[in-house]
Amino acid sequence: MKIVIVSDIHGNYDALSALPESYDELWVLGDLVNYGPQPSEVVDFVMDKATLTVRGNHDQCIGYGDDPRCSPPFREMAEATRRFSSAVVSAAQKQYLRSLPERTETKRAHVRFFLCHATPSDPLYEYRRAESDKWREDCAQLRADVILVGHTHTPFIRSLDRQVVVNPGSLGQPKTGKPDACYAVWEDGQVHLRAFSYPIEKTVEKIQHVPIAKDIQQQLITVLKSGGLSPEK
């Protein structure tokens, strides 16, 4: 079985639709909306294609009207695009975002998986780096072999005593210092981190037509093109 795992699409339909993998199942670790120019199209794609999806802090924001709790460098961008996303995402799509679980567990080929957006103990909001000591204690409470998380927009694989934590990075707004879209593949008991280029200029042009301030547009474009890093999401 081949499972493609994506996270943090953030309204970037161009990256999502260019995903260069066939798969038996698509798993989505949250944050379908905000920042990008096509949140509605992304939600439709995920509703149609994904086998498992969990809710991210930005899905919580659009579904429930909550504060996504972004860090200062991203707060203004998040607020501007929240208003846009809320306007273009339909009532049925918002209901779908509300219906997504904060965490889920599943089993494939004798491997137990745990999925959430941020961390097992704080599935929506905690920003935790790969090297944090908290992973070991947090994951030890789970009856899972593989813990899948997103939220930081930076990919990693970390092996613990009997478990592995995998962050596929961000498909729609990577923070790796490069613009390539990031994702992960689980196949034949092995997990691999992968990345690919997509027609980013199409996304840039669409951002330029989003009804938000020009300086916010430019900030979003800069992050998209540079793979800009931030201490928090």
Residue 231 lies inside a defined structural domain of this protein: no
Strand partners, 113: 106, 146
pLDDT recorded at residue 208: 98
Residue 170 lies inside a defined structural domain of this protein: yes
Could you tell me what percent of the chain has a pLDDT over 70?
98
Specify the CATH number for the domain of residue 147. 3.60.21.10
Residue 53 lies inside a defined structural domain of this protein: yes
pLDDT recorded at residue 230: 45
Residue 145 lies inside a defined structural domain of this protein: yes
Q: Give CA–CA dist 33/40, Å, rounded.
A: 8
Q: Exposed/middle/buried for 189, CB within 10 Å: 0-12, 13-18, 19+?
A: exposed
Residue 232 lies inside a defined structural domain of this protein: no
pLDDT recorded at residue 73: 85
Q: pLDDT of 167-219, one tens digit each?
A: 999 999 999 999 999 999 999 999 999 999 999 999 999 999 999 999 999 99
Residue 56 in tokens: 């991210």
Residue 233 lies inside a defined structural domain of this protein: no
Q: pLDDT of 70-82, one tens digit each?
A: 988 899 999 999 9
C-alpha angle 220-224-225 in degrees, rounded to nearest 5: 120
Q: Taking Cα atoms as reference points, which of 110, 92, 9, 22 lies closest to residue 54? A: 9
Tell me, what DSSP letter sits at residue 121? T
pLDDT of 232 strictly over 50: no
| Angstrom distances, CA of residue 185 to CA of 98, 100, 225, 226, 228 | 27, 22, 24, 24, 24
Neighbours of 31 (CB within 10 A): 33
Could you tell me what percent of the chain has a pLDDT over 90?
95
pLDDT of 233 strictly over 50: no
Q: Taking Cα atoms as reference points, which of 181, 180, 142 lies closest to residue 161? A: 142
| Structural domains counted in the chain | 1
pLDDT recorded at residue 72: 86
Average pLDDT, the chain: 96
* pTM of the full structure: 0.96
Residue 169 lies inside a defined structural domain of this protein: yes
pLDDT recorded at residue 228: 81
Q: Give CA–CA dist 186/63, Å, rounded.
A: 30
pLDDT of 231 strictly over 70: no
Q: Give CA–CA dist 139/160, Å, rounded.
A: 9
Residue 200 lies inside a defined structural domain of this protein: yes
Q: pLDDT of 146-157, one tens digit each?
A: 999 999 999 999
